[in-house]
Amino acid sequence: MKSPEELKKVVQDRYAKIAKQGKAENAASCCGATSPSNKVYNIMMDDYSNIEGYVSDADLGLGCGLPTEFAKITKGDTVVDLGSGAGNDCFVARHETGPEGKVIGIDFTPTMIQKARENVEKIGFNNVEFREGDIDNIPISNDQADVVISNCVLNLVPNKQDVLAEIFRVLKPGGHFSISDIVLVGQLPAALKNDAEMYAGCVAGAIQKSDYLNFIEEAGFQNMTLQKEKPVVIPEDILSKYMVKEAIEAFNQGKVGIYSISVYAEKPGEKTKKLTVQEKVAITNACDSNSGCC
CB 202 within 8 A of CB 31: yes
User: Does an H or E element contain 159, and which?
Assistant: none
For the stretch 213-235, pLDDT in tens is: 999 999 999 999 999 998 887 77
Could you tell me the pTM of the whole model?
0.82
Q: Which of 98, 97, 130 is nearest to 116 (CA)?
A: 130
What are the sequence ranges of the domains in the chain? 4-293
- Between 49 and 151, the more confident residue is 151
For the stretch 119-171, pLDDT in tens is: 999 999 999 999 999 999 999 999 999 999 999 889 888 889 999 999 999 99
For the stretch 159-184, pLDDT in tens is: 899 999 999 999 999 999 999 998 98
Cα–Cα distances (Å) from 107 to 41, 50, 183, 211, in that order, read 26, 25, 21, 25
CB 116 within 8 A of CB 106: no
Residue 132 zone, left/alpha/beta (φ > 0; ψ -120 to 50; rest): beta
3-state secondary structure of 133: coil
Q: What is the CATH number of domain 4-293?
A: 3.40.50.150
CB 65 within 8 A of CB 152: yes
Q: How many Å apart are CA 239 and CA 247, to the nearest integer?
A: 9
